Amino acid sequence: MAQTMFEPVYKDIFPFWNEISAGVQAYICRHSVAMTYLKGTTIHDGSECSGVFFIRSGCLRVYMMSEKGKDITLYRLYPGDMCMLSASCVIQAITFDVMIDAEEDSECYVISGPAFASVSKDNPKIKIFSLETAVSRFSDVMWVMQQILFMGMDQRLAIFLSDESKRTGSDVIPLTHEQIAKYMGSAREVVTRMLKYFAGEGIVEVSRKGVKILDKKRLRELAL
Amino acid sequence: MAQTMFEPVYKDIFPFWNEISAGVQAYICRHSVAMTYLKGTTIHDGSECSGVFFIRSGCLRVYMMSEKGKDITLYRLYPGDMCMLSASCVIQAITFDVMIDAEEDSECYVISGPAFASVSKDNPKIKIFSLETAVSRFSDVMWVMQQILFMGMDQRLAIFLSDESKRTGSDVIPLTHEQIAKYMGSAREVVTRMLKYFAGEGIVEVSRKGVKILDKKRLRELAL
């Protein structure tokens, strides 16, 4: 039953699927559940090992919460994405916590953390997959923290966009990322990623025509 | 020649050493060099793949530099430690950069990044070791960034220690980490790690008697 539901999906998403035994495949399916989370639900609050999430539909937001209740988005998970940071019991070296909310109604397949940890222990290919998934997210997270918290790049970009919009009297800033980077004395790839971050937060929309400001209020707040 | 120099050390530090072929062992040794870095030298500036560092003596400081030249210590490497973040070519998922200075005269064994990447590709055990080493450092880095940049915990602890020192007229604050955490409304483990961070920076000395302030000037600067 569980097998017929999960296997066709797992076959596609896990690069190691055809290299593990039928017994291990069945074990992973038996320890999977299909969950639907309503928009706004907190799925993972960092206090326990919630398991490995695979997103089927919707959107999850992974964030950190400061002591004062301020939160910062680390990244978003879309259909096809997988989350390992919610499964600290799978990767023992992970000793910090994130929180996860459903940003839209979201369907997920969730594999039990202890079950995944146990098959990962005996299968190098599963272990490598888990670690690589985690490391690539870490890089995203490091980037966000470095740019936002350390460089103030969110503020600098917000100031630039606000000023340009005021100067030209338009909500659309018809500049390439390259040009924005040049004006700001930054690198194109930094501007591109930060604009993508702003777009994820619903602050701007990025298209070939340039950058369109959608949420002036939040942009002003960031520019303060 | 290289083999007799590096092998006795690699045998102890690499958990996978006895499970790889003599040919691969020899290959790793051939692509290793022994380096001595003088205090104050920048060993890795983030722009290239400097290789895998193993520290034999001395101390390396791993840090990030903001655009304004402000820097933040992420962690220190002591004899016996290994650094993977300097080898972004080994772990492709690492897409951000750190800088590394020799904080004391330091002797290191350095394995070429491309050579280590190539053996890691063919040996799951080497790959798992590399990824696990990287993930555990990421967790340290995340902690520092979260506490310092996001929570302002360095500032909060600096304020607490300054105030206590002024109040009692003494450089020694005879409180346990538990008590400090209670006063600050924080967790003991957070206070312990942050004190260790302060100690690494030479700001305080931690002993059974309590916390002794060594560098009042830096403590005051942090408290601002």
Predicted confidence at residue B101, as pLDDT, reads 93
Q: How confident is the model at residue B4 (pLDDT cuts 50, 70, 90)?
A: confident
**Which of A93, A135, A150 lies at the smallest CB-CB distance from B93?**
A135
pLDDT in tens, A83-126: 887 777 777 766 667 889 999 999 999 999 899 999 999 999 99
User: Cα–Cα distance between A146 and B190 in angstroms, integer?
Assistant: 21
Per-residue pLDDT band for B68 (boundaries 50, 70, 90) equals low
- Provide the pLDDT for residue B50: 82
Question: Mean pLDDT over residues B196-207, rounded?
Answer: 92
Of B70, B96, B128, the CB nearest to A139: B96
Q: Looking at residue B1, what is its pLDDT?
A: 60
The alpha carbon of residue A150 is apart from the nearest alpha carbon of chain B, in Å, by 6
Q: Once rounded to an integer, what is the mean pLDDT over residues B172-187?
A: 88
Q: Which CB contacts under 8 angstroms, 24+ apart, belong to A209-215?
A: A209/A172, A209/A174, A210/A172, A210/A173, A210/A174, A210/A175, A210/A176, A211/A161, A211/A172, A211/A173, A211/A175, A211/A180, A212/A171, A212/A172, A212/A173, A213/A161, A213/A165, A213/A171, A213/A172, A213/A173
CB pairs under 8 A between A and B: 84
Between A128 and B74, the more confident residue is A128
What pLDDT shows up at residue A10? 94
* pLDDT at residue A67, as a whole number: 60
ipTM above 0.90, yes or no: no
Residue A11 CA to residue A20 CA, distance in Å, equals: 11
Domains of chain B with bracketed CATH = 2-140 (2.60.120.10), 151-223 (1.10.10.10)
Q: Which residues on B lie below 8 Å from A143 (Cβ)?
A: 95-96
The shortest C-alpha distance from A141 to chain B (Å) reads 8
A→B contacts (Cβ < 8 Å), by residue, are 64, 66-67, 72, 91, 93-96, 124-125, 127-128, 131-132, 134-136, 138-139, 141-143, 145-146, 149-151, 186
Closest Cβ opposite residue A132 in set B67, B93, B125: B93
Determine the Cα–Cα distance for residues B108 and B48; give it in Å rounded to an integer. Answer: 18
Cβ neighbors of A11 (< 8 A, separation 6 or more) are: A17, A18
Q: With beta carbons under 8 A apart, name residues in chain A contacting B135.
A: 91, 93-94, 131, 134-135, 138
Residue A57 is predicted with a pLDDT of: 96
Residue B124 has pLDDT above 80, yes or no: yes
Beta-bridge partners for A37: A106
pTM: 0.75
The pLDDT assigned to B95 comes to: 64
The mean pLDDT value for B49-65 works out to 89
Interface contact A127-B128, CB threshold 8 A: yes
Q: pLDDT tens across A29-88, in order?
A: 999 999 999 999 999 887 777 889 999 999 999 888 766 666 778 888 999 999 887 777
> Are the Cβ atoms of A146 and B96 closer than 8 angstroms?
yes
- Position B105 scores a pLDDT of 97
For B29-45, the pLDDT digits (tens) are 999 999 999 999 999 88
Using a CB-CB cut-off of 8 Å, the residues of chain A touching B87 are none
Tell me which residues of chain B have a C-beta less than 8 Å from any C-beta of chain A. Answer: 64, 66-67, 70, 72, 91, 93-96, 124-125, 127-128, 131-132, 134-136, 138-139, 141-143, 145-146, 149-151, 186
Coil/strand/helix, residue B32: strand
What are B67's two structure tokens? 């655009």
Task: Identify the band that residue B161 occupies on the pLDDT scale cut at 50, 70 and 90.
Answer: very high
For the cut 70, the answer to whether the pLDDT of residue B220 exceeds it is yes
**Other CB atoms within 10 A of residue A37 CB:** 21
Distance CA A29, CA A185 (A): 51
Which residues on B lie below 8 Å from A149 (Cβ)?
A: 145, 149-150
The mean pLDDT of B112-138, rounded to a whole number, is: 89
The values of phi and psi at residue A55, to 5°, are -90, 125
User: Residue A146: its chain B contacts at CB < 8 A?
Assistant: 64, 96, 145
Of residues B130 and B93, more confidence is placed in B130
Mean pLDDT score of chain B, rounded to an integer?
87
What proportion of chain A, given as a percentage, has pLDDT over 90?
A: 52
pLDDT at B6: 94
Instruction: Considering only the beta carbons, identify the residue of A91, A95, A136 that sits closest to B93.
Output: A136
The 10s digit of each residue's pLDDT in A143-175 is 777 777 667 788 889 999 998 999 899 999 999
